[in-house]
Structure 1
Amino acid sequence: MLPNHVLIIGPPNSGKLRMADLISKSDPASTRSGVNDDSHSGIIQMTSFSTKYYTVDLKLMIDEYPSNRNYSAYEEYIKELRDWKDEFLAEEAEELREVLDGIIFTINMNWDQSDFLPLLLNEIDDIRARVEQNGDWDGFWAVVGTVPSGESAELFKMDGIEDEVITHGFEFINMEQSGINEHRERMGRDRLLELFETHDWTNMELIRQDQNQYHDNKLNKLKEMHTGLLDENNVDLEQMFSKINLAKEKASKLPQAEREQYAKELVDEFMEFI
């Protein structure tokens, strides 16, 4: 089976390798190319990823800017990102862009984001517009925030970071979180895994269920739906309808391509809900 390609790009100390390890944790055969202390550009992690419906092979391609880890000024980081962007959008890289199923940008949430984040998001906006300009790219986009190992998270910054990322139409995933929020949405590390679980991969191997098992599961699901809808004391229905309204509001702020993917994910989740 051909691998599916995902690009993970970010500055030093923004969690790129930890993210790759999280995605690969269920695959003991996962392999990673050598890690250079001077730069994490060019690292490749080969792994597999499975759900109860399918199995995929993944090629996680990790890139980093700047090439010199000694930079400290945010202006230098953005300049290096622009240089990277020029190479990524060049004609020579067209074949690479075409095979990507997803692009993830990482940030260190403990940095002073007031200067860095607006400039970063402007560059990501430009990259997305150029990648999607022909209308035939169906990959996912995400901005993932992390805190370096050993550092405490500056919680007061996180809401502002998320609001600014969402304003640009990108999903924000806070890797310092996990679990499910009050709207029954997965958060943080669990949401990152869900993003991979629900994506419509270019190359996948479907897991065939026994026909009798499939039929029994379908009947059980219909029975659960019937019982849940007739139960007058089932307050979860109110939560579901509330979540639908919140989801519609969120979807209205997303670009069309991401809106369709978001809708697919919600349908799957509502089916599990009822």
Structure 2
Amino acid sequence: MIPNHILILGAPHSGKLRISKTLCDDVYDQIVDDDKIQSSHSGIIIKSKVSTKYYSVNLNILVDEYPEIRNEQEEEYSVEHKLRSLKKWKDEFLSDECSELRDVLDGFIYCISLDDNTINDISDSIEIINEIRNGIVGDRDWNGFIAIVGTSTKDKNDLNEDVEDLVILNGYEYIDFDKSGRNEYHETVGKDRIVEIVQSNEWTHMETKENVNYDNNKKKKMYEMTRGLLSSEGEEREEEEEVNSKLDLDEIFAKLKLAKDEKRKSM
């Protein structure tokens, strides 16, 4: 089954791998390079599977980080530096070289550390995320999801409510990663909400489970029959090969790295 893709982006220590672990238990087993975990979370690919009583999908979680290379010097973690790095990441992501990567995304999660930012810092970063969102959605009828996740090492972070208001005003859903259970409106929150969003998403490539919904199964079978009548075997094979070539994961995610390298050479 052709995999679906979500992209998780954030600065160092913003919770990217913790969020990934809510969707895939063996995240750290898949990242066999210990140096990669310590030095940078750029270009990590995690393979997972989502299965509900209605469908199953193969899922590739693409984790990327800005700045691409971590620097141990404290000044390199300044808000100004991280904001410049996010703008640079945005320019590379919106380049022509990354068009295929944008096209295959079914979800995008942006991670924010509430410990390292003020509300003004987060507001500046959300403006950049708006441009990234426009690049992902474009002019197409996109059925994917975009969420902003806030993480903190504190028991209670005073920024949460202000950040939630800001995120909602910009048209996103905000998730406080460290919450659990349900809120006063009986809505799922925290890690469970991330899982809920992913499980309820309308994926591009999914395998419907038999005997769950007769009408959906009937439509699927009718589509397959009609497709068989209207296209020759050779055309179907050619179409399948074209789809598979476009969705080669290593090649697609390498587009972003290529854009970064080309950007550096031109500077």
Contact 2:102 2:135 in 1 (8 A): no
Contact 1:31 1:47 in 2 (8 A): no
1:89 to 87, 94, 106: 94
Alignment partner, residue 199 of structure 2: 197
- State whether structure 2 residue 139 is matched by structure 1 residue 134: yes
Alignment partner, residue 62 of structure 2: 61
1:130 alignment partner, SS class: helix
2:159 alignment partner, SS class: helix
Relative distance call for 1:211 and 1:65 in structure 2 (3 A) is closer
Alignment partner, residue 80 of structure 2: 75
Alignment partner, residue 39 of structure 1: 40
Relative distance call for 1:137 and 1:12 in structure 2 (3 A) is same
2:151 to 136, 146, 153: 146
Q: Could you tell me how far 1:153 is from its partner in structure 2?
A: 3.4
Where structure 2 has 5 or more consecutive residues not aligned to the other structure, the ranges are 215-267
- State whether structure 2 residue 53 is matched by structure 1 residue 52: yes
Once the two structures are superposed, residues 5-37 of structure 1 have per-residue CA deviations (whole angstroms, 9 ceiling, x without a partner) of 000000011111111111113x79x83463512
Contact 1:44 1:62 in 2 (8 A): yes
Alignment partner, residue 189 of structure 2: 187
Q: Could you tell me how far 1:2 is from its partner in structure 2?
A: 0.9
Contact 1:53 1:207 in 2 (8 A): yes
Return the structure number with greater relative CO, CA threshold 8 A, min gap 6: 2
1:156 alignment partner, SS class: coil
Matches within 5 A, 1:101-180: 101-147=106-152, 151-180=153-182
Once the two structures are superposed, residues 215-259 of structure 1 have per-residue CA deviations (whole angstroms, 9 ceiling, x without a partner) of xxxxxxxxxxxxxxxxxxxxxxxxxxxxxxxxxxxxxxxxxxxxx
Contact 1:74 1:115 in 2 (8 A): no
For 2:9 and 2:63, how far apart are their aligned partners in 1?
Answer: 6
Question: Runs of 4+ in structure 1 displaced over 6 angstroms?
Answer: none
Q: Could you tell me how far 1:97 is from its partner in structure 2?
A: 0.5
Equivalent residue letter for 1:168: N
2:39 alignment partner, SS class: coil
Equivalent residue letter for 2:175: I
Equivalent residue letter for 1:145: G
Relative distance call for 1:54 and 1:116 in structure 2 (3 A) is same
Where structure 1 has 5 or more consecutive residues not aligned to the other structure, the ranges are 213-274
Deviates more, 1:41-50 or 1:30-39: 30-39
Q: Could you tell me how far 1:52 is from its partner in structure 2?
A: 1.2
- Length-normalised TM-score, structure 1: 0.71
- State whether structure 2 residue 2 is matched by structure 1 residue 2: yes
- Length-normalised TM-score, structure 2: 0.72
Equivalent residue letter for 1:40: H
For 2:143 and 2:32, how far apart are their aligned partners in 1?
Answer: 28
For 1:211 and 1:83, how far apart are their aligned partners in 2?
Answer: 46
For 1:105 and 1:196, how far apart are their aligned partners in 2?
Answer: 14
Once the two structures are superposed, residues 68-101 of structure 1 have per-residue CA deviations (whole angstroms, 9 ceiling, x without a partner) of 4331221110111111111111111101110000
Relative distance call for 1:31 and 1:203 in structure 2 (3 A) is farther
Contact 1:102 1:140 in 2 (8 A): yes
Equivalent residue letter for 1:161: V
Q: Could you tell me how far 1:182 is from its partner in structure 2?
A: 2.1
Once the two structures are superposed, residues 151-198 of structure 1 have per-residue CA deviations (whole angstroms, 9 ceiling, x without a partner) of 323432211111111111111111111111221211111111110011
Contact 2:66 2:89 in 1 (8 A): yes
Contact 2:12 2:66 in 1 (8 A): yes
Relative distance call for 1:211 and 1:184 in structure 2 (3 A) is closer
Contact 2:112 2:150 in 1 (8 A): yes
